[in-house]
Structure 1
Amino acid sequence: MSRIADVIVLAQQADEVMEPLTREDDTRTWRGTFYEMSPGGNWGFGWGAEFVRMHSRSGLLKHLESLPWPRPETVQVLIHDEEDDCFGLWMIHDGRLVEIPLPRTRRAYWSGPHNEEHPPDPGILSRTDHAPVDWPQETAGGDHSRPPAW
């Protein structure tokens, strides 16, 4: 399934950790490479990647949370799926990357269960303060029983 997503990783003192992710690696569950974001040629602490298919990003968050971050408290992962109204925010809590609820947003899930043909649904993050949202029928608070699509 095609759903383009942009991912930005922000982390301090993480050049060594992120460097391997700037190269292709067929042993990873996810496919893609990150590019360092350094406006003005200065050292930055951000890396960005674009994923064009849901299958190509499967396992990305698990991989990122397993890395030996020198300052895990500074790690922020911003994800914008093509259906989202805004970027979602993930941070490391208790060794895991978890989505941080943003004010005036809601993530909804409505596709069926995943299988070998269809990856888990990442849901859609919508702003709740700009227009009425025609929410599909779903379990209250979203279906959090689904495994993360990332």
Structure 2
Amino acid sequence: MSRIAEVIVLAQGADEVMEPLTRYDDSRTWKGVFYAMSPGYGFGWGAEFVRMRSRSGLLRHLESLPWPRPETVQVLIHDEEDDCFGLWMIHDGKLVEIPLPRTRRGYWSGPHDDAYAPDPGILYRTDTRPIEWPEESEDGDRSRPSAW
């Protein structure tokens, strides 16, 4: 399924960690490369993914890297359906989505199907227009595996 997404990784002193991700590597679960946003500065890298399946496993891969300063790692993700970038940070060794004020992630597709990449949901701003939210369990929608 085609759904373009931009991913920005911000991390201090991470040139060596990110360098292998600037080259294509067929052994990774995700397919793509990152580009330095300001060559030589060593703080930000960006990538664009054109299919949901091509980004599967990206967050798991990023959280496994030996970051020199994990507390500075921020991953910004903007799926083409999102109203704004979502923010992911390392907490207890895992990249987790940080809730942003006046936003909510909703899931509109049905149950996960192995024939398709997992649905990343859509990050909506709650202060811009009324949204008909899908029915969710009390703890939020946990029926779908992580798309990233």
| TM-score bracket for this pair, using the shorter chain length | over 0.9
Q: Which runs of 4+ in 1 moved over 6 A?
A: none
Paired residues for 1:34-45 under 5 Å: 34-38=34-38, 43-45=41-43
Paired residues for 1:105-120 under 5 Å: 105-120=103-118
- In the aligned structure 2, how far is the partner of 1:24 from the partner of 1:115? 28
- The reply to whether residue 4 of structure 1 matches residue 38 of structure 2 is no
TM-score (norm 2): 0.95
* Cross-structure match for 1:25: 25
Q: Structure 1 residues 102 and 50 mapped into 2: Cα distance closer, same or farther (>3 Å)?
A: same
- In the aligned structure 2, how far is the partner of 1:50 from the partner of 1:11? 18
* Cross-structure match for 2:54: 56
Q: Percent identity?
A: 80
> Which of residues 122, 125, 147 in structure 1 aligns to 2:123?
125
**What amino acid maps onto 1:32 in structure 2?**
G
Residue 140 of structure 1 and its aligned partner are, at CA, apart by 4.2
- In the aligned structure 1, how far is the partner of 2:132 from the partner of 2:89? 29
1:52 aligns to what SS in structure 2?
strand
Q: Gaps spanning 5+ residues in structure 1: where?
A: none
Residue 147 of structure 1 and its aligned partner are, at CA, apart by 1.5
2:21 aligns to what SS in structure 1?
helix
1:3 aligns to what SS in structure 2?
strand
Q: Gaps spanning 5+ residues in structure 2: where?
A: none
> Which of residues 68, 71, 82 in structure 2 aligns to 1:70?
68
- In the aligned structure 2, how far is the partner of 1:135 from the partner of 1:118? 23
